[in-house]
Structure 1
């Protein structure tokens, strides 16, 4: 069966500089096995499937697959899928887009050319235990003195964030993926003076998820959402900031975070790179 399809680049206004997500727009009737097989075939960090909602409050339902299995929530697929849904004629019921997914309902707002989702609450938080920190630090090829903090920031994916002494050090890390195993590890480091020509970039982020077939994710919405919730709770970041991700992979992802006092919004640009149909 021919189904509408888009491949959307997320967290960059320039095509192929962000993180791509494959979006099957007309996914109704597809079996779980077919979704999983197509996600393995695309071999992207995530492939999504747009379905009719089961909640009256939602505009659509989204299922999110990695090459290794299904996720209850992920950030860049949320924004890329909303972009594809709007571009294929979707009209929100209300002022904001409401996505139904594995963690429930997620609000998405439009701000000019950008989309942003409301960061979901953390389902696991608190300091990472010292044994796990030692194991992860060794797998990352780091010394204990390189690590300033380690915190669980799980909001669907079971993320831990390891904060390093600088954004430059984040870029230098060469992890041992086999040693990381099934850990979902995010790295965070500050850029106190921003980046050349981009003084608003406050942090550098990287994400490693080898356990689900994604050694390094180019730009990661769920991780950045968890980081933002943690940083704002601890007063370690301003209400508005930009994080860079994907630098080591030759990408230029930019994640815009805004805390409006009620919700923390995580957003960026999205661009359709491929549009057509897929036979599934």
Structure 2
């Protein structure tokens, strides 16, 4: 039997229990894919990650990311949470930035004050959404097609398609019918109105996953949304997105474009530490 370091973290929130939870298991070399999947199914969190020795000599660590049902090549809150756990174990990066190796390749992570931030990976698919799919997305979200101001493929691994609505209130009022468009992750975003919504954030985001659930705070979606919104001039180069409001959370994603790189940052709170016995 082995006892491995175990963390349960809250990502994209400085206050515990207001962000997106993540389980991290360190020193996981030797656990096969079937074992990792079984553990992720048992934790039943949106993602569970496993820290391994890197294969690439330039990387600081290798992470594998599992939902309860499948492995992901990349995901945002697991990236920040995994890095937080790796640093908490006393590891030091080889260079100024931490280099994470994952299924999507190498991802840079930097300290941004009290936060961590990752460099948004390139999109695997972008461009306009097909009219038939857009119609089905509108039906899935329970809105008319005219309510969708714009839509784009925004896939950096999980398969996101993103739609822009007119207001925060519209986003928060959504009642998704997952039976209309099963297996398609949908991200929804709308601008805040400072006079009505306040100045704590500039955008409201909701993420509906392929397994039919709503994700509390989603780094991968916010990374792809930022590439679209900033690139199209819809968002400024630096903004804050709120997510999780409809679920009683208070997630905050800090977005900043520096040169050609878009950084996705957030706080990480440690909720549980200990060991897992395998």
Instruction: Give yes or no for the alignment of 1:267 onto 2:268.
Output: no
- The corresponding residue for 1:133 is 134
Deviations 1:159-182, CA, capped at 9 Å, x for gaps: 100111111100100101222301
Tell me by how many angstroms 1:90 deviates: 1.3
Deviations 1:87-111, CA, capped at 9 Å, x for gaps: 0111100001000000110000001
Deviations 1:120-144, CA, capped at 9 Å, x for gaps: 1111000110100101110111111
- The corresponding residue for 2:121 is 120
- The corresponding residue for 2:152 is 151
Q: Does the 8 A contact of 2:252 with 2:266 survive in 1? A: yes
TM-score for the superposition, normalised by structure 2: 0.97
Q: Does the 8 A contact of 2:182 with 2:212 survive in 1? A: no
Instruction: Give yes or no for the alignment of 1:84 onto 2:66.
Output: no
Tell me by how many angstroms 1:214 deviates: 5.4
Aligned ranges 1:48-59 → 2 under 5 Å:
48-59=49-60
Tell me by how many angstroms 1:192 deviates: 2.8
Aligned ranges 1:1-280 → 2 under 5 Å:
1-193=2-194, 199-209=199-209, 211=210, 213=211, 215-280=213-278
Deviations 1:163-220, CA, capped at 9 Å, x for gaps: 1111110010010122230101000111031775x514110000111x3x35110000
Relative to its length, the structure with more strand (as a share) is 1
Question: Whole-Å Cα distance in 1 between the matches of residues 274 and 161 of structure 2?
Answer: 37
Q: 1:116 to 1:194 in 2, by over 3 A?
A: farther
Q: Does the 8 A contact of 1:194 with 1:202 survive in 2? A: no
The SS at the match of 2:171 is helix
Question: Whole-Å Cα distance in 1 between the matches of residues 28 and 194 of structure 2?
Answer: 45
Unaligned runs of 5+ in 1: none
The SS at the match of 1:125 is coil
State the 4+ residue runs in structure 1 displaced beyond 3 angstroms.
none
Q: 1:241 to 1:151 in 2, by over 3 A?
A: same
Question: Whole-Å Cα distance in 2 between the matches of residues 132 and 78 of structure 1?
Answer: 30
Question: Whole-Å Cα distance in 1 between the matches of residues 267 and 83 of structure 2?
Answer: 12
User: What is the count of residue pairs matched by the alignment?
Assistant: 277
Q: 1:214 to 1:87 in 2, by over 3 A?
A: farther
Unaligned runs of 5+ in 2: none
The SS at the match of 1:231 is helix
Question: Whole-Å Cα distance in 2 between the matches of residues 95 and 242 of structure 1?
Answer: 25
Deviations 1:55-100, CA, capped at 9 Å, x for gaps: 0110000000001100000000000000000001111000010000
Deviations 1:236-280, CA, capped at 9 Å, x for gaps: 111110000000100000000000113100011001100000112
